[in-house]
A and B are shown apart, each in its own frame.
Chain A
Amino acid sequence: MHSITLDEQDTFVVADTVFEKVQKLLIQHRICRVCEKSYTEESPMIAANLCLECFLRENSSVHLTVVPTVPDENGVTVYRFLDPEGYIYTCSPASESSEAYESISLTLAYWGFPDVASVELEGKPVELDPTDATIYGDLKTNSVVVVSKRKKAGRLEVSFLSYKNGPCVYLDKAKGYTRKVWREAESQYLATKDARGRYHYKERVSRQPFQSDIYCLLSDNESAKYDQKT
Chain B
Amino acid sequence: MQTVYLHDTLNPITISDSAFALIKELTLQNKVCRWCEKPYKDDRPEVAANSCLYCFVERYEKKPLAFLESEKIDQEESRQFKFIDPEGYLVLTTAKSYGEPGPSIFETIKGWGFPLPETVTIGDTTIPLGNQGWAVYGDFRSNSVIVTLCTTEKSTFPFLSYRKGACVYLDKRRGETKKLYLAARHHLRTSKDSEGRYRYKQYESDFLSSSVLYPLIADLASAQYDKPQQERT
Tally the A-B contacts, defined by beta carbons under 8 Å. 100
18 pairs, CB–CB < 8 Å, chain A vs chain B: A3-B8, A3-B34, A4-B4, A4-B5, A4-B6, A12-B50, A18-B30, A25-B19, A26-B6, A26-B13, A28-B19, A29-B15, A29-B16, A29-B18, A29-B19, A30-B13, A32-B14, A38-B16
Q: Which chain B residues border A94 with CB–CB below 8 Å?
A: 11
B49 smallest CB distance to A (angstroms): 7
The 8 A CB mask of A169-192 against B (1 = contact, 0 = none) is 000000000000000000000000
Interface check A230, CB cutoff 8 A: no
Task: Provide the bound-state CA to CA distance between A10 and B95, in Å.
Answer: 10
A225 near B: Cβ within 8 Å?
no
Name which residue of chain B comes closest to A23, CB basis: B6
Nearest opposing residue in chain A for B96, CB measure: A10
Instruction: Tell me how many residues of A have a C-beta within 8 Å of chain B.
Output: 33
Q: Is B20 close to A, CB under 8 A?
A: yes
- CB proximity of B52 to chain A, nearest CB, Å: 11
With A13-B33, A13-B50 already in contact, the answer to whether A30 and B15 are too (CB < 8 A) is yes
Q: Are A6 and B26 in contact (CB under 8 A)?
A: no
> Are the C-beta atoms of B26 and A18 separated by less than 8 Å?
yes
Interface of B is mostly: mixed
With A and B bound together, what is the CA distance between A4 and B50 in angstroms? 11
Main secondary structure of the interface of A (DSSP, over half): mixed
Binding site for B on A (CB under 8 A): 1-8, 10-15, 18-19, 21-23, 25-26, 28-33, 36, 38, 48-49, 94, 96
Q: With A12-B50, A29-B19 in contact, is A49–B6 under 8 Å at CB? A: no
The chain B residues found within 8 Å of chain A, CB to CB, are 1-8, 11-16, 18-20, 22-24, 26-28, 30-34, 37, 39, 49-50, 96
CB neighbours (8 Å) of A49 from chain B are: 12-14
A31 to B16, Cβ gap below 8 A?
Answer: yes
| Contact status A31-B6, CB under 8 Å | no
